[in-house]
Structure 1
Amino acid sequence: MRSWIKLYERPKAVREIREIWLSEAVAARVEASGLGILRECFTIGLDDNLLSAFIERWHPDTNTFHMPFGEISIMLHDVQHILGIPVSGERVHVDGLAEADDSGLRGKIARFYGVYLSDVVPSRYKNGGLLTSDLRNVVYLGNEHDSLRAYLLILLGHTLFMDKSVRIASRRDSTGVSGCLPLLQAWIYEYFPRFQPGGGFFFEDRPLVEAWASLPRAKGDSHTFQMYRHSLDDLRSEHVRWLPYGNRPQGACRVSLYSGFIRHLDIVEPYQPDRCMRQFGYIQAIPLPMPIPIVESRAANGNYRLDFGQEPDKTWGSENSITPLRKLSRKAYMLFEYGDGYMTWYAEISHPYLYPPSHRLHFRSVEFHEEPEVALALSRKFKNVFQQTSEEA
């Protein structure tokens, strides 16, 4: 088995975002978008071992974590509560980014440098992206509309959509990951009391990720990483806090029930809430089949290209893409319930355990109904197990 995964926090990039000067008009529009708070969400100290143990259970085909009790994932209502950013409304999209004429951002950048667009694209954008330094010039020198577009592209690119995502890091040969790792770590704390450390300070009307801003960085070590692996193998459905934000998360975030595709520039990923019904308070049934791409290819740099034959912009925001829960399942009386045949089906399509039964360790877990004080005490006890095991080894 591989070791823990190196985490790339990119603090310098986040500092640079905060240092970019914005006019009053552009700054007001950034705040109105609700995305400005992303500049403050990256102060949490990451836990290399905990995140690595979860990342290797991520399945890029389903966009879910495959656990012993079934699938679980970061849903849109999780993003809204943890990061405090809007997840509904019109899509965030930079029109004209890839246009081969002067109407796109590339065309404006070419004019700043006094060269033809045909000279700029091959030399500076051979991998399809835009340089942050060039986008910063648009922020400073462009009109209000272009300045806003360029700044939001920098902001999203350095926080939510970094180059090396969990999708790539979950591969066996991967050694590092970047991306919105504070979101993943705070999500783990919300759903899995077993791993929640003490010292969190929650503030009303503030993103939940800020509660863990004072956590120190926990660097990777082989003993702790293996213990987290064993602990995930030991998890059962009743150990999960399935509804951390209240009984009806879809009430405050209806778009979390959206079924379709989510897009960022040329990256398109399927989103299927029917695979995670317990996160809405419903019994988990066998989900609908995943969409099958009509075109699959691998580029020379190892990246996959999938074409699902649908235009995501046409499904996002459509009332027909919001599936009522009653059509998929029924309300759960016990939050960890699953329907007939689900676990049999799941065992056939997944590998929920990393270790054989004879090699698994067992821990007393915090269940979803236990008090926070109990969760805190047991999480400290759990960390003591790590330390003792390391010393004995």
Structure 2
Amino acid sequence: MSEPHPLIVPILEKVGFFGIANLRHLKVDHTLITTLVERWRPETHTFHFPTGECTITLEDVALQLGLRVDGLPVTGPKLCNWEDMCSTYLEIVPVKGESLIGSMIKLKWLRENMLELPEEPSQEQLHAHCRAYILGLIGGVLMLDKTGNKVHLMYLSLLINLRRTRRYSWGSACLVMLYREMCRATNVSSKTMGGCASLLQSWAWHRMPYIAHISRIPSTFPLVCKWSGGRVLNFLHPMVDDEPNPS
């Protein structure tokens, strides 16, 4: 994803996704990720090291990414009229069989066709652009599938009311998917892995600092900002009210 439009930055901060936007700057060390996966045991969901076992916990997700690990479950419809949903909430319409594959939309198409904001956008335009940007972050950074080029549109249903979006447990969903993808990657026939590799790498560098790159940025919350060079935010500040969105 590109830099977020300045007009949607306050919304990203309010829903807790601005820190995830900063992960675009984190270069993934594929050798490190491969080494960690080789140490992963699906039977125990832990890494087996000569010194013992360890794993990534929900606490690690909260500290590394600043995402909520409690709240509403991240789940949505698997079958829907996706063209109508995209037209209504993204103000763009994918083409079935080309940019829309089943229930998934291609990330490249989403980036290239995201609604362009005028100088003085309406609230509907602002929210549509922001939904598309967050959807791209979910599919391209937070919860990648093994292809890394598509995102499921069920997540769009959780972005309809952006005031409600921050109530969902995005952190636990991210961890569940990372666990699942690492388990799949242990299969000798598997050649690719989805999930949030940035979380795995940041966790490894924080817990095993002797393998981490040298960074002059002090450790602060969320911890991944140390490696991504991202801006530090106070994700605990209640910046969005919980009133239902009339739209």
User: In structure 1, how many angstroms separate the alpha carbons of the residues matched to 2:85 and 2:140?
Assistant: 21
The CA RMSD measured in Å over matched residues stands at: 3.7
Is contact 1:139–1:151 with CA below 8 Å preserved after alignment? no
Equivalent in the alignment of 2:152: none
State the identity %. 28
Aligned pair in 2 of structure 1 residues 189, 204: CA closer, same or farther (>3 Å)?
A: closer
Aligned pair in 2 of structure 1 residues 37, 127: CA closer, same or farther (>3 Å)?
A: same
Unaligned runs of 5+ in 1: 1-15, 215-252, 254-393
Equivalent in the alignment of 2:105: 130
Answering whether residue 57 of structure 2 is matched by residue 75 of structure 1, we say yes
Aligned pair in 2 of structure 1 residues 102, 209: CA closer, same or farther (>3 Å)?
A: closer
2:2 counterpart SS class: helix
Aligned pair in 2 of structure 1 residues 53, 37: CA closer, same or farther (>3 Å)?
A: same
Deviation per CA, 1:57-104, whole angstroms, max 9, x where unpaired? 3245654334566653211110121223333344556x6684126652
Is contact 2:143–2:195 with CA below 8 Å preserved after alignment? yes
Equivalent in the alignment of 2:38: 56
After superposition, residues 1-393 of structure 1 pair within 5 angstroms as 16-18=1-3, 20-21=4-5, 24=7, 26-60=8-42, 63-67=45-49, 71-91=53-73, 98-100=79-81, 103-105=84-86, 112=92, 120-132=95-107, 134-136=109-111, 137=113, 139-140=115-116, 143-164=125-146, 165-177=181-193, 179-192=195-208, 195-197=210-212, 199-203=214-218, 205-213=220-228
Is contact 2:41–2:183 with CA below 8 Å preserved after alignment? yes
User: In structure 2, how many angstroms separate the alpha carbons of the residues matched to 1:157 and 1:169?
Assistant: 18
Write the letter of the residue equivalent to 1:211.
Answer: K
Aligned pair in 2 of structure 1 residues 122, 198: CA closer, same or farther (>3 Å)?
A: closer
User: In structure 1, how many angstroms separate the alpha carbons of the residues matched to 2:43 and 2:100?
Assistant: 29
Equivalent in the alignment of 1:378: none
2:142 counterpart SS class: coil
Deviation per CA, 1:101-158, whole angstroms, max 9, x where unpaired? 665226667x845xxx9xx334432343112355454543763443332221111111
Is contact 2:92–2:115 with CA below 8 Å preserved after alignment? no
Deviation at 1:212, TM superposition (A): 3.7
Is contact 1:169–1:176 with CA below 8 Å preserved after alignment? yes
Is contact 1:97–1:106 with CA below 8 Å preserved after alignment? no
Deviation per CA, 1:320-360, whole angstroms, max 9, x where unpaired? xxxxxxxxxxxxxxxxxxxxxxxxxxxxxxxxxxxxxxxxx
Is contact 1:199–1:212 with CA below 8 Å preserved after alignment? no
User: In structure 2, how many angstroms separate the alpha carbons of the residues matched to 1:70 and 1:157?
Assistant: 33
> TM-score under structure 2 normalisation?
0.58
2:203 counterpart SS class: helix
1:159 counterpart SS class: helix
Is contact 2:89–2:131 with CA below 8 Å preserved after alignment? no
Larger Rg: 1
Greater RCO between the two (CA within 8 Å, min separation 6)?
Answer: 2
2:47 counterpart SS class: strand
Write the letter of the residue equivalent to 1:189.
Answer: W
User: In structure 2, how many angstroms separate the alpha carbons of the residues matched to 1:21 and 1:176?
Assistant: 32
Is contact 1:201–1:212 with CA below 8 Å preserved after alignment? no
Aligned pair in 2 of structure 1 residues 128, 211: CA closer, same or farther (>3 Å)?
A: same
Deviation at 1:38, TM superposition (A): 1.4
2:188 counterpart SS class: coil
User: In structure 2, how many angstroms separate the alpha carbons of the residues matched to 1:102 and 1:185?
Assistant: 36
Is contact 1:139–1:146 with CA below 8 Å preserved after alignment? yes
Deviation at 1:159, TM superposition (A): 0.8
Aligned residues: 189
Deviation at 1:190, TM superposition (A): 2.9
Is contact 1:169–1:175 with CA below 8 Å preserved after alignment? yes
> TM-score under structure 1 normalisation?
0.39
Aligned pair in 2 of structure 1 residues 107, 66: CA closer, same or farther (>3 Å)?
A: farther
Deviation at 1:197, TM superposition (A): 3.9
Is contact 2:22–2:228 with CA below 8 Å preserved after alignment? no
